[in-house]
Every structure is written in structure tokens, then in C-alpha cells.
Amino acid sequence: MPRKRRFYQPGVPAHVFQRGHNQQPVFFGDADYLAYLRFLKTSADALECQVHAYVLMTNHVHLLITPKAENDISLLFQSIGRHFVSHINKTYQRRGSLWEGRHKGNILESEAYFLACMRYIEMNPVRAGMVDHPAQYRWSSYVANSQGIDNAVIQPHELYMSLGKTAETRQLAYRELFATLTQLDELELIRTSLHSGTPLGNRHFKQQIESVAGCSVGFSKRGRPLKNRLQ
């Protein structure tokens, strides 16, 4: 069965995901999380990809990235994979697959869905019952985006910057996005689009992508744009 085509586009944010083989752990200690972030930073810089949000869970990772070129995200995961798998195999004297095949991902209409996707990513540890608040989880970008804690991996997107004129007002506005529970249909929409690889946006956005890609991109479950629900 042929692989489903990805629709990454230069300058268009993408939500990407990779899981451990058979849903097994890929991180076993603090040094592993730090190594992954180091490889992510090095690879993103080399490819000039902008990382806006991330979470490293025990057996999977989520990233929100704006690539400079169409193939950059695939190249990013290839680069991280070479270095991180080598690190894990050498550290724990193991062999064999670490990741479950190719990464999954979808592009998104930034104006309507970008901030919702950031929240979805950084709320993963809360939904998993690991912590009560995203600020309590060390291996995500939440404290960088919400409190201004230095994080060399993160580069703010223009929509994040538009939350306020100063760093303090942006961080406050960002924290307020997490003050209410995420709607179930929002979670379903983001998950479905991610795992199907379907661009997340309105009809006009998808038509634009189809025009560039030269093929149909499909549609996710319909619903009101998430931007409206975050206001």
C-alpha cells in the first residue's frame, strides 16, 4: 500500500508526532530528554526550522514547527533519529527499532488553529494524568511560552507575538488560554487531522494547499474554527 503523501509547505506551521515502537518508552532518564532536545535544537538550526512548541512524553513526542522548505520536517526527523537512536542504543546496550515507523504530521491554518495546537501539545502531560498543571512538567515548552523561562529550542511565531506588546502581557495572555478546559470536539479535531495527515483549516485554506500540491487533501471533521473557542 503506498504511503500517504504529506502536505508540508514552506512557512506553514505543522503539528508533528512520533511514537515509540509498539508504544514502548523512548525516554528512560533525564539525560535522554536532554539529549533529544539537544539534537532537536542542532537539527532545527541547521535546517532553519522554527520550533514553537513541544512536549516529550515517555513514549512519544509532539512538535509544532514552521519549516523553511517543503522537505525540512522529514529531514529534521531523520537527523534527530540518527543521533537519538544511537544515543539510546549506546547508553542502554540495545538494538532494534526505537520509533514506530515514520512520523505523522499535518499543516494548519495558523490564524485559526495555531494557538489551539500549542495548547493541545503542552497539555499532553495533564491529559495523561502525569501532572495537574502544564507548568509542573519539565519536558515541554510551556514554561518558556507562559513564563518567559529561557529555552534555546523555542522561536516565537508571529501569532504568539501578537498576544501582547510586551513579554509580560504575552505571557499572561498565553496563560489565560489554559484557564479553561479544552473542548472534546477540539481535541478530536486536532487528533484526527494529525493522525490522518489532513491539513487543519477552512475550505479556502485547503483549496490553496490543493492548488500547490496538485491533488485533493481531504477533509477532517467539520466544526467552528478553534480560534473562536479560544477567545
Confidence of residue 209 (pLDDT cuts 50, 70, 90): low
Per-residue pLDDT reduced to its tens digit, 162-205: 999 999 999 999 999 998 776 778 888 899 989 888 888 767 66
Closest CA to 122 of 138, 109, 100: 138
**What pLDDT is attached to residue 33?**
98
Domains of the chain: total: 1
Q: What does the pLDDT look like over 88-101, one tens digit per residue? A: 999 999 988 899 98
Instruction: Say yes or no to pLDDT of 104 above 80.
Output: yes
Window from 103-112, 147-156, 216-225 with minimum mean pLDDT: 216-225
- Measured distance CA(112)–CA(139) in Å, rounded: 26
Residue 61 resides in a domain: yes
Q: Which domain holds residue 169?
A: 14-214
Q: Which amino acid belongs to residue 52?
A: H
* Span 22-54, pLDDT tens digits: 999 999 999 999 999 999 999 999 999 999 999
> To the nearest whole number, what is the mean pLDDT of the chain?
88
Cell of 207: 483549496
- What mean pLDDT comes out for the span 61-77? 96
Residue 186 lies in a domain: yes
Residue 227 lies in a domain: no
Domain-located, residue 132: yes
Domain harbouring 54, CATH code: 3.30.70.1290
The whole model's pTM is what? 0.88
Give strand pairing partners of 154: 51
Q: Is residue 2 part of a domain?
A: no
Q: In the predicted model, is pLDDT for residue 11 greater than 70?
A: yes
* Beta bridge partner(s), residue 56: 61
Give the pLDDT confidence score for residue 211 in this predicted structure.
Answer: 60
What pLDDT is recorded for position 37?
98
Q: What is the pLDDT of residue 223?
A: 43
224 domain residue, yes or no: no
- The amino acid at 51: V
Residue 24 inside a domain? The answer is: yes
% the chain with pLDDT above 90: 69
pLDDT in the model for residue 201: 74
Cβ burial of 69 (10 Å; 0-12, 13-18, 19+) is middle
For residues 116-127, give the mean pLDDT: 96
